[in-house]
Amino acid sequence: MPTTGPGPITMHEAGIKPFIHGLQTMRLIVQMAREVPNADEIPTTRLFPDMLPFSFQIIAASEAACKMVQLAGQHVPEWSSEFKGLSWDDMTKRLDDTIELLQKITPEDVKGSEETPCYFDFVPIGKTYYPGKEFIFGVNYAHFMFHVVIAYGIARSKGVPLGKANYLASYVQPWPYDVYAEKIKAEEEAKALENGAPSS
């Protein structure tokens, strides 16, 4: 599904749609990660010892996406930042709630928000305000995608059968996420049967 239509890019196309797509990608990562045999290990897995775990990436991406409501003059929701002990259902709900939040924002809601002050908080620099357009392109989208990519990397490192097609799926076309996960599982079971292994 193309992110933008003809003509100049709008604030909704730049500041809302890409975050929805990224959250949908994370939703697929979670959906597929919870299906692997070692799924219980993944929420606490880190890409490197001094980095934060998979469950943190979900919360951090959600928090970054939630900040985009500032473009519509709305207050950022004060949802829990706790990432320890989250279940797969907890992570799925957090992503679904964030997607729903952004889907309620219309192009009219953010029209003319290029100069709307939006805050970005990052521990090394504290809370800093940016004009809406700079907030999207200067800091928050890069911040958001960092956590999406780290979640992908952690899942991949634990054997989750993800690929670039999964990562890009929500950006390029409507994608039946749960159906696709089932398709992958069915293909793996068929392959196992061909190799003489019992199906799960």
Q: How far apart are CA 122 and CA 24, in angstroms?
A: 24
- Centre a 10 Å sphere on the Cβ of residue 185 and count the other Cβ atoms it contains: 16
3-state helix, strand, coil in the chain (%, to 5): 60, 5, 35
Give this prediction's pTM. 0.82
Q: What is the mean pLDDT of residues 78-95?
A: 96
Residue-level pLDDT at 189:
83
Tokens of 66: 């939630």
Half-sphere exposure of 25 (CA within 13 A, CB side): 31
C-alpha to C-alpha distance for 50 and 123, rounded to whole angstroms: 16
Pick the CATH number of 11-194 from 1.20.1440.130, 1.20.120.450, 3.10.25.10, 2.60.120.10: 1.20.120.450
At 90, is the pLDDT very low, low, confident or very high (cuts 50, 70, 90)? very high
- Residues 6 or more apart whose Cβ sits within 8 Å of residue 60: 52, 147
Q: Where are the domains of the chain?
A: 11-194
**How many angstroms separate the CA atoms of 41 and 159, rounded?**
11
Does residue 187 register a pLDDT over 70? yes
Mean pLDDT of 159-181: 75
Containing 128, the helix (H) or strand (E) segment is: strand 126-131
Whether the pLDDT of residue 151 is over 80: the answer is yes
Dihedral over alpha carbons 178, 183, 188, 194 (to 10 degrees): 160
Q: Across the strands, what pairs with 131?
A: 117
